[in-house]
């Protein structure tokens, strides 16, 4: 009798621990991956051909137009791209690089105007230069604002995710809070800030109607879209996708933050509205059980071309 009671208690504890682990799967996966597979930032060989011009042996600058630049890190294993939009009064740097190399001299080589930096989201590979130029802007989020101390914000472990590269969460000053649909005047050039949650709760994009240009960060790019890590939300992904489709003209150009892996020729990742339509359709099909997945965690669903959607378990899909 006594032994039977002990066994039942052990089984109950194991079941409860298993349930907690499954419910907290995004965090468990992140900790497991960081401990077993994470590494210091990997630096690849210099590509023989790229779109744009090398600044040194690491950064590439690709001119999108006379006042818009894509700044690539094709040797960094994440294949990051940040974007510099230059007006007549100031410039906007959308995303701040990985921090593996110093992005600031590259920006200064392109403009001497005051620069405001806006990260598409707060993961480790997008915040390298935050606080290192004239101003830093973040989305007008009450949760972020409550954590401000003496004008500075320290990122949390599961917001930053830098443990994957053995990085500690940074602290940086915040100068401006930009709300959804806010217009930002750069001087003879205006862009609109759009809050675009899905990949993270505080993700943003930059829309410039006069150029039919949308900078989307990690919301969509030609690779595996992460919707299974802490802060991701499939319902937000779908809502944002549908909202953008209502906003964008058919000829809009979508520039993303990560290249296809591996790219034939490293270049700023350019998508079209039809790619966003494919994502929205895949999200609906997954929700309705009409899309087959592979893998257990994350579960991967096909979207279009090299694009796939990586999600969590059913009880993590909110």
Q: How confident is the model at residue 1 (pLDDT cuts 50, 70, 90)?
A: low
Q: Cα separations (Å) of 200 from 26, 65, 229?
A: 12, 29, 9
Average pLDDT for 27-34: 86
Say if residues 180 and 195 touch (Cβ distance below 8 Å). yes
Please check whether residue 56 is in contact with residue 71, taking contact to mean a CB–CB distance below 8 angstroms.
no
Q: pLDDT for 205-215, tens place per residue? A: 999 999 999 99
Per-residue tokens: 307: 């694009």
- pLDDT tens by residue, 236-261: 999 999 999 999 999 999 999 999 88
> Which class for 155: exposed (0-12), middle (13-18), buried (19 or more C-beta within 10 A)?
buried
pLDDT at 223: 96
**CA dist., res. 86 & res. 115, Å (int):** 9
Confidence at residue 224, expressed as pLDDT on a 0 to 100 scale: 97
Q: What is the pLDDT of residue 15?
A: 39
Task: Examine the pLDDT at 10 and tell me if it is beyond 70.
Answer: no
Q: Is residue 37 very low, low, confident or very high in pLDDT (cuts 50, 70, 90)?
A: confident
Give 3-state DSSP helix, strand, coil % of the chain, rounded to 5. 30, 30, 45
Which residue would you say has higher pLDDT here, 69 or 229? 69
User: Residues with Cβ < 8 Å from 241, sequence gap 6 or more?
Assistant: 198, 276, 279, 280, 283
Reported as a pLDDT band with limits 50, 70 and 90, residue 48 is confident
CATH superfamily of 38-316: Ribonuclease Z/Hydroxyacylglutathione hydrolase-like (3.60.15.10)
CB contact at 8 A, 115 and 131: no
29 has a pLDDT exceeding 70: yes
Considering the entire predicted model, what is its pTM?
0.92
How many other C-beta atoms lie within 10 A of the C-beta of residue 195?
A: 20
Distance between CA atoms of 227 and 297, rounded to whole angstroms?
Answer: 11
**Which pLDDT score, from 0 to 100, does residue 12 have?**
46
Average pLDDT of the chain is: 91
* Residues whose CB is less than 8 angstroms from the CB of residue 118 and which lie 6 or more positions away in sequence, other chains included: 92, 93, 94, 95, 136, 137, 138, 178, 193, 204, 206
Residue 25 has pLDDT above 90, yes or no: no
| Confidence label for 19 from pLDDT (cuts 50, 70 and 90) | very low
Q: Tell me: pLDDT of 20 over 50.
A: no
Rounded to 5 degrees, φ, ψ at 309 are -115, 120
Q: Is 128 exposed, middle or buried (0-12, 13-18, 19+ CB in 10 A)?
A: buried
User: Which sequence spans correspond to the domains of the chain?
Assistant: 38-316
Phi-psi region of 228 (alpha: psi -120 to 50; beta: other; left: phi over 0): alpha
Both tokens of 241, joined, read 């996708």
Res. 9 pLDDT band, cuts 50 70 90: low
* Strand ranges inside 183-272, DSSP E: 183-185, 190-195, 204-208, 213-217, 224-227, 253-256, 270-272
User: Could you report the per-residue pLDDT of 172-196, keeping only the tens digit for each?
Assistant: 999 999 999 999 999 999 999 999 9
């Amino acid at each position: 009798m006594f032994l039977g009671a002990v066994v039942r208690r052990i089984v109950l504890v194991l079941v409860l621990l298993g349930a907690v682990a499954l419910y907290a799967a995004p965090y468990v996966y992140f900790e497991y991956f960081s401990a077993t597979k994470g590494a210091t930032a990997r630096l690849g060989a210099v590509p023989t051909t790229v779109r744009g011009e090398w600044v040194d042996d690491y950064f590439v600058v690709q001119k999108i137009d006379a006042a818009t630049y894509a700044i690539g890190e094709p040797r960094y294993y994440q294949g990051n791209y940040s974007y510099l939009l230059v007006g007549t009064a100031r410039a906007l740097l959308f995303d701040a690089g990985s921090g593996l190399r110093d992005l600031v001299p590259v920006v200064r080589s392109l403009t001497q105007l005051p620069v405001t930096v806006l990260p598409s989201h707060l993961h480790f590979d997008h915040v390298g230069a935050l606080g290192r130029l004239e101003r830093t802007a973040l989305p007008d989020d009450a949760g972020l604002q409550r954590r401000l101390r003496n004008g500075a914000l320290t990122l949390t472990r599961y917001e930053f995710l830098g443990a994957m590269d053995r990085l500690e969460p940074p602290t940086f000053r915040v100068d401006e809070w930009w709300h959804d649909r806010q217009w930002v005047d750069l001087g003879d050039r205006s862009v609109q800030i759009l809050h675009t949650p899905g990949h993270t709760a505080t993700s943003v994009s930059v829309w410039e109607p006069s150029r039919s240009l949308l900078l989307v960060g990690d919301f969509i790019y030609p690779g595996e879209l992460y919707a299974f890590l802490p802060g991701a939300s499939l319902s937000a992904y779908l809502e944002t996708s549908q909202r953008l489709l209502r906003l964008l003209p058919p000829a809009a150009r979508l520039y993303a933050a990560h290249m296809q892996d591996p790219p034939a020729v490293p270049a700023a990742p350019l998508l079209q509205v039809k790619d966003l339509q494919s994502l929205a359709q895949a999200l609906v099909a997954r929700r309705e059980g009409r899309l087959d997945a592979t893998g257990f965690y994350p579960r991967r669903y096909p979207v279009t071309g090299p694009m796939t959607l990586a999600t969590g378990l059913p009880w993590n899909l909110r």
